[in-house]
Amino acid sequence: MLSIDIIRNNPKEVEQGLARKGEKLLINEIIKLDESYRSDLAQANEMRAKRNVSSDKIAQAKKLGENVDKAINAMRKLSQKIKVLEEKTQSSKNDLEQLLLGLPNIPHESVPEGKDEKNNQLVREWGETLDRDFNIMAHLELGKALSLFDFERGAKISGSGFPLYTGKGAKLERALINFMLDFQTEQHGYKEIFPPFLVRPESAVTTGQLPKLADDMYASEKDDLWLIPTAEVPLTNIHQNEILSEDQLPINYTAYSACFRREAGSYGKDTHGFLRVHQFNKVELVKFVKPKNSYKELEKLVEQAEAILQSLGLKYRVIELCAGDLSFAAAKCYDLELWAPGEEKWLEVSSCSNFEDFQARRGNIRYRRNSDKKVEFVHTLNGSGVATPRLLVALLETYQNKDGTISIPEPLQPYFGREVID
């Protein structure tokens, strides 16, 4: 959520920032509503103060035996006016909050200009394309030949987009998850969390999924709960409505979760196999940091996600998103994309974002400074470390052998228990 103070004091700058994300929103409505709300609130406070004075005078007059009927009638009329004004201010406050919740975060000044993914910028590449003296198969062919997953039976159970892992495919998926969790906890000092997969609406509001992105989420309406699209949601809300001490920061959490996304606006885009699914697994990385350190922590977060791909020997690239391609809540974001030789394309496996205080304001997540004991909002960051569906695609296609088997990267072998899938 954007600070109402920033909007009041710098309306043009806010409009320009929103325009960089492609949001052609005029904030005049917000400013007028805020002015009206504050004016009505001040008036209501004045009336309440006047009523308190009248109440004291009536009490004193009664003690002296004076007639107070006229004063009581006047106070009742004043109370009625106060009630009407209180209802108006509450309505204005609710409307203002909804408008603020609908505003996306403003891009950081360092974010490159651009309207969509065509304007994203390559930061670096890592790894080499392996030369093969045989025809490279795509992941669906490999999976079918080795009985690793069964999309047809998955669709029979739950519908399209819900994969069914089988046999060694299921074991490989579990191995990847355990490997990535151990890597981040042992190599980078993250604290492992195993969170709930359903959350209250307030939790999804904190991270920016609600109310703006409700159509892309699955809901359990009877219980007023939402299935998480990423472990970012429960992890960020661990400290909802809390004041942390400065000594606690930075806080680094990692978690595995299943992720559920309706992908309502993505029909027809890379829909086959694991390229776009409604349920998938992911290891998430979430940071709570001091504001002055958040952009250094963003670079560190990207490197920590990259380390997973490097350890598995997979070719990847880092992309800096332009302003128009940023998510609703992000102020700056890098994507990690793996090269899938069978698909002959780059596949996104991680987004690493700095939200600055955008999520912290929505979730009321603050910390107390040691120097002056003042309380301010933390900055939150998150990144995939990483999502498994496209990781699995790239791994299978990269490590396939001429005889149809799949070699297992050395760091993954202790988790999988074998060197080859045959």
Q: For the chain, what are the domain ranges?
A: 28-101, 117-421
Position 82 scores a pLDDT of 94
Position 271 scores a pLDDT of 62
Query: Which residues in the chain land under pLDDT 50?
Result: 265, 267-268
- pTM for the model: 0.92
pLDDT tens-digit map of 151-181: 999 999 999 999 999 999 999 999 999 999 9
Position 131 scores a pLDDT of 82
Q: How far is CA 247 from CA 79, 266, 379, in A?
A: 48, 43, 15
Position 212 scores a pLDDT of 92
Closest by Cα among 407, 17, 414 to 422: 407
Give the CATH superfamily of 117-421. Answer: Bira Bifunctional Protein; Domain 2 (3.30.930.10)
Q: What is the 3-state secondary structure (H, E, C) of the chain?
A: CCCHHHHHHCHHHHHHHHHHCCCCCCCHHHHHHHHHHHHHHHHHHHHHHHHHHHHHHHHHHHHCCCCCHHHHHHHHHHHHHHHHHHHHHHHHHHHHHHHHHCCCCCCCCCCCCCCCHHHCEEEEEECCCCCCCCCCCCHHHHHHHHCCECHHHHHHHHCCCCCCECHHHHHHHHHHHHHHHHHHHHHHCCEEECCCCEECHHHHHHHCCCCCCHHHCCEECCCCEEECCCCHHHHHHHHCCCEEEHHHCCEEEEEEEEEECCCCCCCCCCCCCCCCCCEEEEEEEEEEECHHHHHHHHHHHHHHHHHHHHHCCCCEEEEECCHHHCCCCCCEEEEEEEEECCCCEEEEEEEEEECCCHHHHHHCCEEECCCCCCEEECEEEEEEEEEHHHHHHHHHHHCECCCCCEECCHHHHHHHCCCEEC
- Cα 131 to Cα 313: distance, rounded to the nearest angstrom: 14
- Cα 412 to Cα 171: distance, rounded to the nearest angstrom: 11
pLDDT tens-digit map of 107-139: 999 999 999 999 999 999 999 988 888 999 999
Position 132 scores a pLDDT of 86
- For domain 28-101, give the fold: Helix Hairpins (1.10.287)
Q: Where do we find the tokens 């309502």?
A: 264
pLDDT tens-digit map of 187-239: 999 999 999 999 999 999 999 999 999 999 999 999 999 999 999 999 999 99
Position 264 scores a pLDDT of 55
